[in-house]
Homo-oligomer: A and B are copies of this chain.
Amino acid sequence: MALDLSRLRIDPRRLRNHFKALTRIGATPEGGVHRPALGDADIEGRKWLRDRIERSPLAYTDDTAGNQSAILHGRDGDSPHIMIGSHLDTVPGGGRFDGALGVLAALEVLLTLKDAGYSPPIGLEAINFTDEEGTHIGTLGSRAVTGRLTEGDLQHPFQGLPAFDSALARIGLSRKSLLQARRTADRIAGYLELHIEQGPILAEESFDIGIVTAIVGIGRLTLQFRGRADHAGTTPMALRHDAGRAAGVFVASAWDFLPENFPDCVINIGHLRFHPGTFNVVPHTVDLELEYRAPDARQLGDLQRGLIAMAKDVAHECRVAMEMGPAEISPAVSMDSRFQDQFACAANRLGLRHRRMPSGAGHDAQNFADLCPSGMIFIPSVDGRSHGPDEYSHWDDCVNGANLLLHSALEVVETYRHTRTK
Residues of A that sit less than 8 Å from B by CB: 197-201, 216, 218, 220, 229-239, 242, 244-245, 247-253, 255, 258-259, 266-272, 274, 276-283, 289-291, 293, 359-362, 384, 386-388
A384–B248 CB distance below 8 A: no
Nearest CB of B to A46, in Å: 25
B residues within 8 A CB of A220? 279
B residues within 8 A CB of A293? 232-233
Contact partner of A387 (CB less than 8 A), chosen from B250, B281, B283, is B281
B247–A259 CB distance below 8 A: no
Q: How far is the CA of A258 from the CA of B245 in the complex (A)?
A: 13
Contact partner of A259 (CB less than 8 A), chosen from B199, B216, B238, is B238
A280–B271 CB distance below 8 A: no
Q: How far is the CA of A321 from the CA of B242 in the complex (A)?
A: 26
What 16 additional pairs, Cβ within 8 angstroms, besides A197-B234, A236-B266, A252-B252? A198-B231, A201-B236, A229-B387, A231-B384, A233-B293, A234-B359, A234-B360, A235-B360, A239-B384, A244-B251, A245-B255, A247-B248, A249-B255, A251-B251, A271-B277, A278-B289
A236–B200 CB distance below 8 A: yes
Nearest CB of B to A90, in Å: 14
Contact partner of A280 (CB less than 8 A), chosen from B238, B268, B276, B384, is B268
Task: Name which residue of chain B comes closest to A318, CB basis.
Answer: B255
A279–B274 CB distance below 8 A: no
10 contacts between A and B (CB under 8 A): A199-B231, A200-B239, A230-B384, A231-B387, A233-B359, A238-B259, A245-B251, A245-B269, A251-B251, A270-B276
A252–B255 CB distance below 8 A: no
Q: How far is the CA of A283 from the CA of B268 in the complex (A)?
A: 9
Q: How far is the CA of A232 from the CA of B232 in the complex (A)?
A: 34
The 9 lowest CB-CB distance pairs between A and B, nearest first, are A248-B251, A199-B234, A233-B360, A232-B268, A234-B360, A271-B277, A198-B234, A252-B252, A233-B361
B residues within 8 A CB of A231? 198-199, 360-361, 384, 386-387
B270–A291 CB distance below 8 A: no
B residues within 8 A CB of A280? 268, 270, 291
Tallying the copies of this chain within the complex gives: 2
Task: Name which residue of chain B comes closest to A283, CB basis.
Answer: B270
B residues within 8 A CB of A229? 387-388
Contact partner of A384 (CB less than 8 A), chosen from B235, B276, B362, B384, is B235
Nearest CB of B to A272, in Å: 5
With A279-B291, A291-B279 as contacts: A233 and B252 at CB distance below 8 Å: no
B268–A279 CB distance below 8 A: yes
Nearest CB of B to A369, in Å: 17
Nearest CB of B to A276, in Å: 8
A268–B282 CB distance below 8 A: yes
Task: Name which residue of chain B comes closest to A264, CB basis.
Answer: B236
Nearest CB of B to A362, in Å: 7
Q: How far is the CA of A384 from the CA of B237 in the complex (A)?
A: 13
Task: Name which residue of chain B comes closest to A314, CB basis.
Answer: B252
Contact partner of A278 (CB less than 8 A), chosen from B255, B270, B290, is B270
Q: How far is the CA of A338 from the CA of B245 in the complex (A)?
A: 40
B233–A362 CB distance below 8 A: yes
B270–A272 CB distance below 8 A: no
B residues within 8 A CB of A248? 247-252, 255, 269
A235–B266 CB distance below 8 A: yes
A274–B277 CB distance below 8 A: no
B residues within 8 A CB of A197? 234
With A199-B236, A249-B252 as contacts: A244 and B270 at CB distance below 8 Å: yes
B residues within 8 A CB of A234? 197-199, 359-361, 384, 386
Q: How far is the CA of A250 from the CA of B272 in the complex (A)?
A: 14
